[in-house]
Structure 1
């Protein structure tokens, strides 16, 4: 099934691209520049496309992103440190980001003759991001069937939506995903900070999967304290 993958250049989407490529289903990668402070991830998406020998398109959403204010990913707001499950991480929500990206991706897929659009949303995203939850993805696919009725039949593929990030690390390892050539950190520095929610989640995922983490973190040990703090809050 010819499948377009929405690829940020992060661990999840690059792993998904490698999984689909191993099956012979990957048709192209599409990325979005919405003015995110960690836009360096787009370079990692480009490298994934080159490595997998598929086309790569970066769609400029910066004017739209500028209107989606209030997120630490787009505005001059400090990215909080800590575990993904912390309430403070909700400041990283970009409203309707996935809904907008998916809508564009479905249009591209219809124009290019693809049969599916794949996104790497996963179970760890559900707490913070409403447009990563199964209720959203299922409803979105229904909406797209109506939007393209009689023109194209494209399904939405979300193979990780009920999986953990550790499951993604395991799946990516099985198809030789080069994790060191992916970018997760929300702070967009020269190295992964090791302290923001996505860095903590990334480090924890490798630990839970029992797979060595090749990532170079500025603070490689912070994740343990962050997880312990989140656990104490959940126990209250």
Structure 2
């Protein structure tokens, strides 16, 4: 009997691809999204819509009260979203203190409670330059902790840890995924801005795959 799997699902294109990767493993999938006081909740609305259409069990967990502890990021505080590529130093303002350790810890607790043995999340190589909690050494240490933190070991699965967003998109397109059902932009306006780091990396991935992004941009 295949045990359930938990997917940390933000509503973005990386976690959307990871969600489908987990579904194709044959495990019953439980998706979990977090409202941690980020600048907008549009990605959470998108995530809920996708899970409803797929018939995936989905929890949106309100942890906005921790926002008061996570100041200093342009994603959680009243700081302008930087424009430019992810590898630029200015993008460090989008780092939310300890975010993935917090979210993964909560997802692991959820996994234990439903007798799951895996937690998936969408870290990839394009995040390594700016986000310490997306790097291989972080995942390695988290896996070591999650193997001993409970009576039942939980494995952290990062299928795209060492590949780029371009590679993730290529895999998703090969799976026939429709990326209209994702939201990447750091701004929560009606249309994607096209100039923040998240938008630029997304557009670059589509261009490198010679594919057209179905989202509408300002």
The TM-score bracket by the shorter chain reads over 0.9
Residue 6 of structure 1 contacts residue 29 of structure 1 at CA under 8 Å; is this kept in 2? yes
Aligned to 1:66, which of 68, 71, 83? Answer: 68
Aligned to 1:103: 105
Aligned to 2:37: 35
Aligned to 2:137, which of 122, 135, 138? Answer: 135
Residue 106 of structure 1 contacts residue 117 of structure 1 at CA under 8 Å; is this kept in 2? yes
Distance 1:57 1:179 in 2: 21
Displacement of 1:26 in angstroms is 4.5
Q: 1:25 to 1:175 in 2, by over 3 A?
A: farther
Aligned to 2:216: 216
Aligned to 2:117: 115
User: What SS is found at the alignment partner of 2:188?
Assistant: coil
Q: Which is richer in helix?
A: 1
1:14 counterpart = 2:16: yes
Structure 2: gaps of 5 or more residues: none
Distance 1:101 1:45 in 2: 16
Cα deviations across residues 28-80 of structure 1 (Å, max 9, x unaligned)? 10000001113110011111211221111011111112210000001111101
Q: Give the 4+ runs in structure 1 shifted more than 3 A.
A: none
Structure 1: gaps of 5 or more residues: 219-236
Distance 1:119 1:65 in 2: 21
User: What SS is found at the alignment partner of 2:34?
Assistant: strand
Distance 1:90 1:135 in 2: 19
Residue 22 of structure 2 contacts residue 29 of structure 2 at CA under 8 Å; is this kept in 1? no
Distance 2:40 2:127 in 1: 18
